[in-house]
């Protein structure tokens, strides 16, 4: 199965194949989006270069036109559950419920209280349709549309299956720093209790560096990841306010989880194209007073020796969403 992550800075595609009881990385591609290139053409190009064995693709969406939320309600009939999901979604989405696509899944049952926990997801129809149309025009078929935070959750729990076990007591956070969206997820017992998409991420940092150093965007992108020694101090001071915002956003999400569920978060795991930003891991760890580390979407996936494995080494943190989409149906 192929997972397609259409980001604002780049497009990522991952193809996984099942070999017996294990998954193998067949191929992946990361393609930077060019300023004048139509998105439709970029999607077609990356899928043609990937040359997957199947024409079916899973893709995802994110941002303010999507919603993911956990609700706890009494056990009710299927018809009543559909109405309850619609009511909850209508309370929180920023657009008309008539313009929304809704989906839900029961993730837990509590026999003692006779209540169920339901994960509901909503997205604006036009957003879903636009993404599906791009894939269709490229000559492929969309099998499923997911939301970035859920795809990341699937990728992480596939990579570290022990953390998906209901017996695993620790709660942990995922921070995925893309170019334009910051995904924050808090997971406990294999369930994403908090999923937030916050606008503004890696791109804002690049723009700040461009203005301060009077350099081009491409140079700024390289600088924020691997600055030379003579610029490290200046860069660190420049990025601290933005890092502080990241830390506050995480702290708010963690605080909500801890207040609602009386459970502390033990660790934060980083992914995304900006996960390796200079001093980011250390800053967030110090600010939140908890361990912070990178995670590998392919920790439980075979990567055969060769060109694919070699080219994966420096970019694996960028492929969490695409890997989670590919994991979904293999």
pLDDT string in tens for the chain (330-residue length): 999 999 988 999 999 998 777 899 999 999 998 888 999 999 999 999 999 999 999 999 988 899 998 888 888 888 899 998 899 889 888 889 999 999 999 988 888 888 899 999 999 999 999 999 999 999 999 999 999 999 999 999 999 998 888 778 899 999 999 888 889 999 998 999 999 888 877 888 888 888 888 888 888 888 888 888 888 888 888 888 888 888 899 999 999 999 988 899 999 999 998 888 888 899 999 999 999 999 999 999 988 766 666 688 889 999 999 999 999 877
Which of these, 55, 108, 62, 106, lies nearest to 84 by C-alpha position?
A: 106
Q: What is the pLDDT of residue 172?
A: 94
Distance separating alpha carbons of residues 254 and 186, to the nearest angstrom = 7
Instruction: Name beta bridge partners: 181.
Output: 199
Q: What angle do CA 293, 221, 253 make, to 5 degrees?
A: 40
**Residue 265 near residue 173 (C-beta atoms within 8 A):** yes
**Per-domain boundaries in the chain:** 164-294
End-to-end, the C-alpha distance of the chain in Å comes to 6
pTM exceeds cut of 0.85: yes
The contacts of residue 37 (CB under 8 Å, 6+ apart) are: none
Q: What is the pLDDT of residue 305?
A: 65
**Residue 61 near residue 127 (C-beta atoms within 8 A):** yes
**Residue 174 near residue 95 (C-beta atoms within 8 A):** no
Q: What is the pLDDT of residue 193?
A: 92
In CATH, what is the architecture of 164-294? 2-Layer Sandwich (3.30)
Distance separating alpha carbons of residues 164 and 198, to the nearest angstrom = 25
Q: What is the pLDDT of residue 283?
A: 92
**Residue 198 near residue 176 (C-beta atoms within 8 A):** no
């Amino acid at each position: 199965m192929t997972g397609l992550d259409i980001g604002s800075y780049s497009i990522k595609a991952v193809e996984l194949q099942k070999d017996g009881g294990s998954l193998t990385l067949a191929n992946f591609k990361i393609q930077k989006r060019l300023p004048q290139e139509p998105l439709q053409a970029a999607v077609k190009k990356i899928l043609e270069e990937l040359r997957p064995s199947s024409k079916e693709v899973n893709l995802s969406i994110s941002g303010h036109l999507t919603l993911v939320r956990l609700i706890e309600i009494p056990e009710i009939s299927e018809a009543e559950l559909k109405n309850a999901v619609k009511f909850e979604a209508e309370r929180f989405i920023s657009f008309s419920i008539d313009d929304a696509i809704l989906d839900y899944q029961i993730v837990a049952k509590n026999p003692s209280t006779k209540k169920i926990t339901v994960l509901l997801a909503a997205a604006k129809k036009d957003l879903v349709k636009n993404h599906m149309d791009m894939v269709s025009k490229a000559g492929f078929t969309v099998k499923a549309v997911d939301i970035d935070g859920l795809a990341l959750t699937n990728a992480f729990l596939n990579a570290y299956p022990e953390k998906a076990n209901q017996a695993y007591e620790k709660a942990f956070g995922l921070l995925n720093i893309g170019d334009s969206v910051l995904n924050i997820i808090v997971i406990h017992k294999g369930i994403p209790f908090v999923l937030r998409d916050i606008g503004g991420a890696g791109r804002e940092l690049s723009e700040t560096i461009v203005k301060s150093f009077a350099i081009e965007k491409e140079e700024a992108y390289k600088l924020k990841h691997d600055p030379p020694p003579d610029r490290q101090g200046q860069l660190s001071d420049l990025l601290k306010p933005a890092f502080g915002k990241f830390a506050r956003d995480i702290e708010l999400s963690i605080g909500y989880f801890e207040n609602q569920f009386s459970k502390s978060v033990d660790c934060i795991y980083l992914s995304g194209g900006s996960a390796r930003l200079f001093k980011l891991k250390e800053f967030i760890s110090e600010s939140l007073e908890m361990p912070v580390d990178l995670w590998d979407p392919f920790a439980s996936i075979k990567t055969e020796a060769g060109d694919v494995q070699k080219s994966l080494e420096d970019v694996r943190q960028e492929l969490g969403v695409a890997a989670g989409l590919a994991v979904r149906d293999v």
